[in-house]
């Protein structure tokens, strides 16, 4: 059977404190930008894409689904959906914590690890990954104390990795933020045709009748 050529892909990641884009052709990153912004993703993202070769136009667009910043996730999704519609491109999503896990494996080798990133209301988004980069447990939003008591892996990656290692009193921290330029490291099985944001924690507010509004419940 003839091997299908990899689709040219524009990757958009605005879900965390960092904002990044990458253009991938032939399975290799040909251009990309990564900046730690904290805030201001909406203002920075479109110029980042426009600065890529061909203004970032690609046959496929991959976008970070979170969990992370309520605003950042939606900025990334809005841009990705609009460009996919305008270009007739295929749109896929990927979990933010899985990309961080892939980056950690590239740096520290294939091994089980915990990813811990900043959540909302003083909690952290935490998830375990196996040595192959696949989820080994559910995504959870935990208090620092609970996260420290529940983590299994010695290697911890993400924005709260150092804090988690210090609370545990053991382990190795890799304080990484998600980076679109690392997209090719992500296990293909984790790409999804769904681009609904990933919920890191239950919403705080409830509508009349006890119905919860659709919200990430994450950092704003």
Q: What is the pLDDT of residues 131-167, one digit of tens each?
A: 999 999 999 999 999 999 987 899 999 999 999 999 9
Give how far Cα 101 sits from Cα of 52, 91, 112, 149, Å: 26, 22, 9, 20
Residue identified by tokens 């704003």 is: 220
pLDDT of residue 137: 94
| Shared-domain flag, residues 21 and 90 | yes
Residue 70 · residue 78 · CB < 8 Å? no
CATH code where residue 118 lies: 3.30.420.40
SS3 59: coil
**Count: domains in the chain:** 2
Among the listed residues 140, 129, 108, the one whose alpha carbon sits nearest the alpha carbon of residue 190: 129
pLDDT in tens, 178-213: 999 999 999 999 999 999 999 666 544 343 444 444
Q: How far apart are CA 159 and CA 161, in angstroms?
A: 6
Give how far Cα 70 sits from Cα of 13, 112, 213, Å: 13, 28, 13
SS3 33: strand
Q: How far apart are CA 89 and CA 74, in angstroms?
A: 19
Q: Which residue segment(s) compose the domain that 105 sits in?
A: 97-174
Is 80 exceeded by the pLDDT of residue 45?
Answer: yes
Is 70 exceeded by the pLDDT of residue 88?
Answer: yes
Among the listed residues 68, 17, 34, 10, the one whose alpha carbon sits nearest the alpha carbon of residue 197: 68
| Shared-domain flag, residues 74 and 183 | yes
Domain membership flag for residue 1: no
pLDDT of residue 38: 72
**Residues facing 31 on adjacent strands:** 23
Is 70 exceeded by the pLDDT of residue 1?
Answer: no
| Shared-domain flag, residues 44 and 145 | no
Q: How far apart are CA 100 and CA 155, in angstroms?
A: 12
| Shared-domain flag, residues 19 and 79 | yes
| Shared-domain flag, residues 69 and 104 | no
| Shared-domain flag, residues 56 and 39 | yes
Residue 62 · residue 92 · CB < 8 Å? yes
Residue 7: band (very low, low, confident or very high) from pLDDT cuts 50, 70, 90: confident
Q: Is 122 exposed, middle or buried (0-12, 13-18, 19+ CB in 10 A)?
A: exposed
Domain membership flag for residue 197: no
Domain membership flag for residue 108: yes
Domain membership flag for residue 4: no
pLDDT of residue 151: 75
| Shared-domain flag, residues 101 and 149 | yes
């Amino acid at each position: 059977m003839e091997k299908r050529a990899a689709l040219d892909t524009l990757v958009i990641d605005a879900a965390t404190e960092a904002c990044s884009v990458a253009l991938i052709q032939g399975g290799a990153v040909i251009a990309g930008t990564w900046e730690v912004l904290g805030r201001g993703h909406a203002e920075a993202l479109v110029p980042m894409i426009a600065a890529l070769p061909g203004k970032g136009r690609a046959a496929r667009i991959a976008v970070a689904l979170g969990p992370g910043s309520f605003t950042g996730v939606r900025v990334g999704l809005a841009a990705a959906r609009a460009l996919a519609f305008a270009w007739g491109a295929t749109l896929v999503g990927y979990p933010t914590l899985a990309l961080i896990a892939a980056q950690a494996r590239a740096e520290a080798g294939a091994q089980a690890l915990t990813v811990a990133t900043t959540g909302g209301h003083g909690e952290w988004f935490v998830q375990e990954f196996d040595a192959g980069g696949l989820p080994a447990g559910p995504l959870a939003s935990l208090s620092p104390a609970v996260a420290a008591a529940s983590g299994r892996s010695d290697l911890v990656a993400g924005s709260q990795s150092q804090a988690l290692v210090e609370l545990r009193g053991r382990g190795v921290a890799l304080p990484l933020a998600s980076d679109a330029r690392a997209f090719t490291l992500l296990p293909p099985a984790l790409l999804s045709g769904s681009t609904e944001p990933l919920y890191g924690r239950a919403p705080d507010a409830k509508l009349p009748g006890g119905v919860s509004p659709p919200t990430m419940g994450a950092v704003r």
